[in-house]
A and B are shown apart, each in its own frame.
Chain A
Amino acid sequence: MKDDLFSLAGIFSQLSLLAFGGGNTILPEMQRQVVQVHHWMTKADFSALFALAQAAPGPNMMVVTLIGWHVAGWPGVLITSIAKFGPSSLVTIAALHAWERFKDRPWRRYVQLGLAPITVGLVAASALLIAEASDRTWVLVGVTGIVALLSYRTKLHPLWLLAGGALIGLTGFGQ
């Protein structure tokens, strides 16, 4: 238990500082650590927890809290939350005063331009890994494909798409 808490603190404080471009960029590393390195859950469980967090309100990092809970209960939630949200918040506080001075500097633009394709590669990796872990049957592959198409082409609220997927799942059709 104590070892798990140390591991959670280590993993999520590192991820906190690497999450350029938001939460979806760190999903692959989170999955690698939680499933492959520490064997805390299967990759199907990881996808289910991720999906659960997407269906709940709030910022899209809440899967972090769920992992903490799953691994070590309330202490896990506390340690994981502090590790995940503490370091990036301290950076924000530190950068707040300097922002006026560096926001118009050329290097700031090049760093941002350079980070953009890294973010794209990571979000694409997240999409593939979560899809690969979730789509165990052809019907589920179909659900993923239809939701992707609808989300890309229409302005349907993501909650409707999640609910639709859950309903098709509930019928058990093709599973």
Chain B
Amino acid sequence: MLQDSTPRPTVADLFFGFLTLGLTAFGGALPLARREIVERRKWLDADAFTDLLGLCQFLPGGNVINLSVAIGMRFRGVPGALAGLLGLLVGPSLIVIGLGVIYQRTHQDPRIAHLFAGLAAAAAGLLIAMAVKILWPLRKKPEAAVIACVMFAAIALLRTPLLPSMLVLTPISVLIAWKVRR
């Protein structure tokens, strides 16, 4: 699985590798993660990357965040996992806090408030596009579409808390998937 031709990354390599990734990934870090990890740094070959990404998508948490932990862990154990995770998060955290401070100091100014209103409306548009993209394939799976609609209604319309909603609907959904796709 590991590439023998390249030396395995040190803890510092992992930290700085994911630091670069965190600071340069705008609008979704996954495509860039693949390019950095597989093509540029050659830490994993394409198959190993896809395999590890499969795990990270299966588990709770952000894909790339889980990936930083999994890759760090695989090469350097717990210190490596910590280095990957911290590297990925420290840059964006500081930037986002900086932006937050600017927002807090300026959002009383009507022009800034208008700017943020436009920004938030655009961010909502991006979310809608993403929702439509992942909704579209469900048109061929009526049973899955029903589950998606029930979850949507519970969370968006009834404002049911997430934990009980998931505890009830996930087993039902898995059971249906097992019955239908078996």
Contact = CB atoms under 8 A, between A and B. Distances in A.
Interface of A: 14-24, 26, 28-29, 32, 36, 44, 47-62, 65-66, 69-70, 77, 81, 85, 88-89, 91-93, 95-96, 99, 103, 108-131, 133-136, 140-141, 143-152, 157-159, 161-162, 164-172, 175
Given A77-B97, A124-B156, A19 B124 contact: no
B58 A89 contact: no
Contacts, number: 350
A65 B82 CA distance: 18
Contacts of A150: 125
B161 interface: yes
A47 B119 CA distance: 9
Closest 7 CB pairs of A and B: A169-B118, A165-B122, A58-B92, A147-B125, A121-B151, A88-B61, A114-B174
Contacts of A81: 89, 93
Contacts of A66: 96-97, 99-100
A28 B97 contact: no
A85 B65 contact: yes
Interface of B: 22-29, 51, 54-66, 69-70, 73-74, 78, 81, 85, 88-89, 91-93, 95-97, 99-100, 103-104, 107, 110-111, 114-135, 138, 141, 144-145, 147-152, 154-156, 159, 161-163, 166, 169-171, 173-178, 181
Given A48-B116, A148-B132, 18 more contacts: A54-B123, A59-B89, A65-B97, A66-B96, A91-B59, A91-B61, A92-B66, A93-B69, A99-B55, A114-B171, A118-B148, A123-B130, A124-B131, A129-B156, A147-B129, A158-B27, A158-B28, A171-B114
Nearest to A97: B73
25 contacts: A22-B63, A52-B100, A55-B119, A57-B95, A58-B96, A66-B97, A66-B99, A69-B100, A88-B61, A91-B61, A92-B59, A92-B61, A93-B73, A108-B58, A114-B178, A119-B134, A120-B138, A124-B152, A128-B152, A134-B121, A135-B121, A140-B117, A144-B128, A157-B26, A158-B27
Contact of A51 (B123, B173, B176, B177): B123
A58 B91 contact: yes
A18 to B, nearest CB: 6
Contacts of B74: 96
Given A57-B24, A117-B173, A125-B152, A172 B161 contact: no
B62 A89 contact: no
Contacts of A77: 93, 97
B124 A135 contact: yes
Contacts of B175: 114
A34 to B, nearest CB: 13
B125 A144 contact: yes
B159 A118 contact: no
A125 B159 CA distance: 10
Given A121-B149, A147-B121, A168-B118, A56 B60 contact: no
A103 B55 contact: yes
B141 to A, nearest CB: 8
Contacts of A29: 155, 161-162
